[in-house]
C-alpha cells in the first residue's frame, strides 16, 4: 500500500494548479523548500515522477495529469466533510473571506461587529485585486467575496448591498479645487494616476471615459490606493478612487473631491459566492449580516 499523507496531496494539488512551486507555497503559507520537499517525498512514495521541468517552467507528467483529478476529489470531499461538521457545530467555525483592496477600508469595522455577535468564529481575510479575487473564486478557495462589480460569466451568485461612488480626487491646492460642474472634457488636460491592470476601479474608470469619448492621459501605475493618494497629494496628478478610501484625507484637508459633471461614477459593492456552493452556517450568517446591516452607520461608512 502506498502511504500518501494529506499534506502531500494538498501540496501536490496546489503545485499542479499553479504550475509553480513559489505560487503554491504562497497559497499554502509554506516555504518553497518545504513545498519542494513534500513533492519529492510524494514522488518517492509513488515511485514515479509527477512533474517535469524544462527551463524555468514545470509541467505535469502524464502520471501527474491522471493523478490530479483524484487529488482534487479527495480534497473536495474533505472540505465537504469539514463543512458538514461546521454546520453541525453551529457558528463555531472558520470563515474565509476575500475582498477587493478598496473594500479593505470598511471591512475591519464590519468584521469587528460581526465577531461581537459570533465570538467563536475564526476569520481568514485576504485583501487583493479583482483579477486575483476572481481566480480565487474560480478555484473555490473562499467562502465569501466582497467586490465592486458583479462579474459576468463566472457562475457566481452576487447580491448588491451598498453604493460605491467613484470620485475624482486632487490636492487641495489644485486650480480646479474650487470650480463647480467642471466639464468632463477638461479632464483630458490632466494627468491621471491609475491602479494596476486587473483593478475594478481602473476598469470602471476606463469604461466610463470611453463611453463619453474622452481620452485620458495616464501617468504612473500604482498597485495600492494608499500609494495613489500619496502621489496625488504630492501633485503628481489626479486620480479616481472610491469615496470610501479617502475619508481620512478629506477630514484632514489633504485631498479634495473635484466637482466634475457626470460624477461620481456610481458603482455598488456585492457579496459574492459560487452558485450552488453549500455555505457553512457561519458563512451564511455573515452574508445575512452584511445584507441586514447596510444602513448601520457604526458598521458601514456613509
Question: Model confidence over 198-252: pLDDT tens digits?
Answer: 788 888 899 999 999 999 999 899 988 999 999 999 999 999 999 989 989 999 9
Give the count of domains, the chain: 3
Residue 301 resides in a domain: no
Query: Is pLDDT larger for residue 92 or for residue 122?
Result: 122
Looking at the fold, whether 56 and 143 belong to one and the same domain comes out as: no
| Residue 262: exposure state from Cβ atoms within 10 A (0-12, 13-18, ≥19) | exposed
Residue 82 resides in a domain: no
Residue percentage of the chain with pLDDT more than 90: 52
Looking at the fold, whether 143 and 12 belong to one and the same domain comes out as: no
**How far is it, in rounded angstroms, from Cα 22 to Cα 8?**
16
pLDDT for the residue 88: 58
pTM: 0.64
Residue 135 resides in a domain: yes
pLDDT for the residue 80: 77
Residue 1 resides in a domain: no
DSSP state of 260: B
Looking at the fold, whether 172 and 247 belong to one and the same domain comes out as: yes
Domain that holds residue 156: 88-162+268-292
Residue 203 resides in a domain: yes
- The pLDDT-based confidence of 105 (bands split at 50, 70, 90) is confident
Looking at the fold, whether 48 and 120 belong to one and the same domain comes out as: no
| Boundary-marking domain end, from 77, 96, 126 | 77
Residue 82 has pLDDT above 80, yes or no: no
Looking at the fold, whether 145 and 285 belong to one and the same domain comes out as: yes
pLDDT for the residue 250: 94
pLDDT for the residue 300: 47
Residue 11: other Cβ atoms inside 10 A: 26
- The pLDDT-based confidence of 265 (bands split at 50, 70, 90) is very high
- The pLDDT-based confidence of 298 (bands split at 50, 70, 90) is very low
Looking at the fold, whether 157 and 275 belong to one and the same domain comes out as: yes
Residue 297 resides in a domain: no
Looking at the fold, whether 215 and 237 belong to one and the same domain comes out as: yes
Residue 111 resides in a domain: yes
Tell the residue number behind the cell numbers 504550475, with chain if given. 19
| DSSP per-residue string spanning 45-86 | HHTS-SEEEETTEEEE-HHHHHHHHHHHHHHHHHHHHHHHHH
Residue 297 has pLDDT above 60, yes or no: no
**How far is it, in rounded angstroms, from Cα 143 to Cα 283?**
6
Residues with Cβ within 8 Å of residue 127, at least 6 apart in sequence: 98, 99, 100, 101, 103, 104, 107
Residues with Cβ within 8 Å of residue 114, at least 6 apart in sequence: 121, 286, 289
Which contiguous run of DSSP H or E holds residue 161?
strand 156-170
Question: pLDDT tens-digit profile of 269-292?
Answer: 999 998 888 888 888 889 999 888
pLDDT for the residue 48: 94
The lowest-confidence range among 26-30, 104-108, 111-115 is 104-108
pLDDT for the residue 299: 47
Question: pLDDT tens-digit profile of 127-180?
Answer: 888 888 888 888 888 889 998 876 676 788 899 888 889 999 999 999 999 999
Looking at the fold, whether 258 and 185 belong to one and the same domain comes out as: yes
User: In CATH, what number is assigned to the domain containing residue 277?
Assistant: 3.40.190.10
Alpha helix (H) ranges present in the chain? 6-18, 21-28, 32-46, 62-88, 107-117, 130-138, 200-211, 225-233, 247-251, 281-292
pLDDT for the residue 165: 93
pLDDT for the residue 301: 46
| Residue 20: exposure state from Cβ atoms within 10 A (0-12, 13-18, ≥19) | middle
For the chain, the distance separating the N- and C-terminal CA atoms, rounded to the nearest angstrom, is 61
Looking at the fold, whether 232 and 244 belong to one and the same domain comes out as: yes
Residue 1 has pLDDT above 70, yes or no: no
pLDDT for the residue 294: 65
pLDDT for the residue 137: 85
Looking at the fold, whether 73 and 92 belong to one and the same domain comes out as: no
- Report the candidate in 148, 186, 171 with the shortest Cα–Cα distance to residue 257: 171
Looking at the fold, whether 93 and 227 belong to one and the same domain comes out as: no
Residue 138 resides in a domain: yes
Compute the mean pLDDT over every residue in the chain, rounded to the nearest whole number. Answer: 88
Identify which of 27-31, 63-67, 112-116, 135-139 has the greatest average pLDDT.
Answer: 63-67
Looking at the fold, whether 49 and 193 belong to one and the same domain comes out as: no
Find residue 274's DSSP bridge partners: 156
Amino acid at each position: 500500500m502506498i502511504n500518501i499523507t494529506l499534506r502531500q496531496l494538498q501540496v501536490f494539488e496546489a503545485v499542479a494548479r499553479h504550475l509553480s512551486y513559489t505560487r503554491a507555497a504562497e497559497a499554502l503559507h509554506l516555504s518553497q523548500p518545504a513545498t519542494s520537499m513534500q513533492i519529492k517525498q510524494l514522488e518517492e512514495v509513488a515511485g514515479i515522477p509527477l512533474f517535469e521541468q524544462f527551463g524555468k517552467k514545470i509541467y505535469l507528467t502524464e502520471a501527474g495529469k491522471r493523478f490530479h483529478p483524484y487529488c482534487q476529489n479527495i480534497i473536495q470531499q474533505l472540505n465537504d466533510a469539514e463543512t458538514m461538521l461546521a454546520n453541525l457545530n453551529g457558528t463555531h467555525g472558520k470563515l474565509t473571506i476575500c475582498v477587493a483592496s478598496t473594500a479593505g477600508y470598511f471591512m475591519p469595522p464590519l468584521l469587528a461587529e460581526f465577531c461581537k455577535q459570533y465570538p467563536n468564529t475564526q476569520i481568514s481575510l485576504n485583501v487583493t485585486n479583482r483579477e486575483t479575487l476572481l481566480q480565487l473564486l474560480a478555484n473555490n478557495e473562499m467562502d465569501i467575496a466582497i467586490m465592486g462589480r458583479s462579474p459576468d460569466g463566472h457562475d457566481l451568485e452576487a447580491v448588491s448591498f451598498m453604493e460605491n461612488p467613484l470620485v475624482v480626487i486632487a490636492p487641495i491646492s489644485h486650480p480646479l479645487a474650487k470650480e463647480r460642474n467642471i466639464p468632463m472634457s477638461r479632464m483630458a488636460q490632466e494627468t491621471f494616476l491609475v491602479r494596476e491592470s486587473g483593478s475594478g476601479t481602473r476598469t470602471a474608470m476606463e469604461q466610463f471615459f470611453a463611453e463619453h469619448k474622452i481620452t485620458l492621459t495616464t501617468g504612473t501605475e500604482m498597485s495600492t490606493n494608499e500609494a495613489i493618494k500619496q502621489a496625488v497629494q504630492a501633485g503628481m496628478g489626479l486620480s479616481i478612487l472610491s469615496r470610501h478610501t479617502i475619508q481620512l484625507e478629506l477630514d484632514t484637508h489633504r485631498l479634495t473631491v473635484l466637482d466634475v459633471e457626470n460624477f461620481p461614477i456610481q458603482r455598488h459593492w456585492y457579496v459574492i459566492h459560487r452558485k450552488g456552493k453549500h455555505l457553512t452556517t457561519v458563512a451564511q450568517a455573515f452574508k445575512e449580516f452584511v445584507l441586514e446591516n447596510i444602513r448601520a452607520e457604526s458598521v458601514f461608512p456613509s
